[in-house]
Amino acid sequence: MKPTTPYRPLDITIPFPELKAYARTATLLHPRPGTPTAADSSVGGPLLWPADETWPVCAEHGRVPGVRPDRHDGSALPLLALAQFYVRDVPDLGPFAPPGADLLQVLWCPFTGHDDASFNDYGPSTRLHWRRAADVTEQLSVQPGPAVVEREEYLPNPCVLFPEQVVDHPFADYLPAELVERIEAWEDALQERIGEAAPCYQYDLSLAPGWKIGGWDSWHRTDLMRVRCGACGAEMRLLLTIDSDGGARSWVPYDEAQDAWNGGRPPSPHGPTGISAARDEYRAFVCPADPSHPHRMSTQ
């Protein structure tokens, strides 16, 4: 059964048509165990990497004392390939791509405690790398990677993706206060009529949970903190959500619901990827004014 999410219990733009102005599409990635190749979009699969391009390393972890016997330089930790996404597979990725690029590659150093510019929260240090797939004529044959990781939850299980485009509406703090008041009154009235089963704006009717590209960012643990570009001050836009939580019951994809019905259990409490880099979500934000400005990470 293909991983897709159920229809929303109701369309929130019917009682609140003004929300249409805030709607954004997002692509849920639905990673599932598989054997991706470099030609596939994946989490935990091999990256399409040119044979003549240096594999990125973490300079900060180069300061760890000691010399690794299997490395001549003994001084830098190769980054770990986390994921790659082809624009052709992920409808909401295209608008983020710099001119000519059609492949986004995400690598990270699987340790905490970094002090680099892209990093503004607790979690592994990430690198986002755009390229044009057709430029890779000769592929790297053996993919480097770190010999150690800080936590098992920073090491992805190989997964193929089943992208599904959905519509997100914003976290309430992004909306005018009077609109939020009306939504809350509507939720209260609905709950009075149908009880605990009543869908709520935050968890059922606005933000899609799970690994996703684009859409809106939730701030359910901290309240809204606007992420601003360190280079130009522009408000940054959510590019990638790495989710270790899974979200509300109404969002459970059909294949996982079927598995649960059959008595199956996910291979990891964090879902098929096994990744958990924050309590719920680890998100990459990028500058809408200039894609060359460093991205920033934030957690929920």
Residues in touch with Zn ion (CB under 5 A): 58, 60-61, 109, 111, 229, 231-232, 234, 287, 289-290, 293
Residue 183 or 286: the one with the smaller Cβ distance to Zn ion is 286
Minimum distance of Zn ion from residue 64's CB (angstroms): 9
Quote the least distance from Cβ 266 to Zn ion, whole Å: 29
- Kindly state the smallest distance separating residue 98's Cβ from Zn ion, in Å: 13
Nearer to Zn ion, 12 or 109 (CB): 109
CB-wise, 133 or 289, nearer to Zn ion? 289
Two structure tokens written together for 25: 């599409």
Nearer to Zn ion, 8 or 228 (CB): 228
Nearer to Zn ion, 154 or 251 (CB): 154
- Beta carbon of residue 95, minimum distance to Zn ion (angstroms, whole number): 16
CB atoms within 10 A of CB 112: 14
- The least CB distance from residue 65 to Zn ion, in Å, is 14
